[in-house]
Amino acid sequence: MLVEASIPGLFRTIIIVVGVFVLLRFLGQLMNAKRNMDTERRMKEDKRRAEKEKDEIKRNLGKTDILNENRSGQNVEDVDFDEVD
């Protein structure tokens, strides 16, 4: 099989190669923009969560919570002490 080089074939090959590079560059920029948007959304969510926590702390400042349960998980019985004379 004999293949000859031609000017139209050369231009077509160059156009295809340039087209592939342009397409890959466009897809790369598109993926970069999506990643930046995801990062920005995550940062806004973290900032909102931090502000919410700060507001919660500010709202509960100075308040005291009384818990009726034992934190250790063990049952503690009340013991009556008798006075010794």
- Break the chain into its structural domains and give their ranges: 9-58
For residues 8 and 15, what is the distance between their CA atoms, to the nearest angstrom?
10
Please give the C-alpha separations between residue 81 and each of 4, 35, 77, 78, 85, in angstroms, as whole numbers: 111, 68, 13, 10, 13
Distance of CA 57 to the CA centre of its chain: 24
Q: What is the pLDDT of residue 62?
A: 85
* Per-residue confidence in pLDDT tens, the chain, 85 aa: 667 878 888 999 999 999 999 999 999 999 999 999 999 999 999 999 999 999 999 998 888 877 766 556 566 677 777 777 6
